[in-house]
């Protein structure tokens, strides 16, 4: 069964652009939320990040936003670099 993947990112983030390119090249289907496309998107991401601080500790410590971020099947959260995205292959 295919995984439901939602990617949180922004087009001005080089890691997000690279992550999308990897997902596309690998034929991995995903939804995309641009966290800076509007206040509701940003609030949704910040709420997710604040509720799962253990997943974002290193990003927060480095004063990074924590994107690209992937939510899989509405429960598993990953903060990954583009080269680690192969974890989503079926």
Higher pLDDT pick, 82 / 47: 47
Residues 13-22: tens digit of each pLDDT: 999 999 999 9
Q: Which two tokens stand for residue 50?
A: 């604040």
At the topology level, CATH places domain 5-81 in Glutaredoxin (3.40.30)
Domain chopping of the chain, boundaries? 5-81
Residue 59, judged by CB atoms within 10 A of its CB (0-12, 13-18, 19+), counts as: middle
Rounded mean pLDDT, 41-58 = 94
Query: What is the DSSP code string of 69-90?
Result: EEEETTTEEEE--GGGGGGG--
- Give me the pLDDT at residue 87, please: 76
- pTM, two decimal places: 0.90
- For the cut 90, the answer to whether the pLDDT of residue 1 exceeds it is no
- Give me the pLDDT at residue 3, please: 85
Q: Report the C-alpha dihedral over residues 11, 13, 19, 23, rounded to 10 degrees.
A: -10
């Amino acid at each position: 069964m295919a995984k439901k993947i939602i990617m949180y990112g922004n087009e001005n983030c080089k890691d997000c652009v690279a992550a999308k390119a990897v997902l596309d090249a690998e034929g991995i289907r995903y939804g995309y939320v641009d966290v800076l496309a509007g206040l509701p998107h940003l609030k949704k991401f910040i709420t997710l990040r604040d509720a799962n601080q253990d997943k974002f500790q290193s990003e927060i410590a480095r004063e990074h936003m924590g994107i690209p971020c992937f939510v899989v099947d509405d429960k598993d959260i990953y903060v990954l670099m583009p080269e680690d995205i192969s974890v989503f292959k079926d």
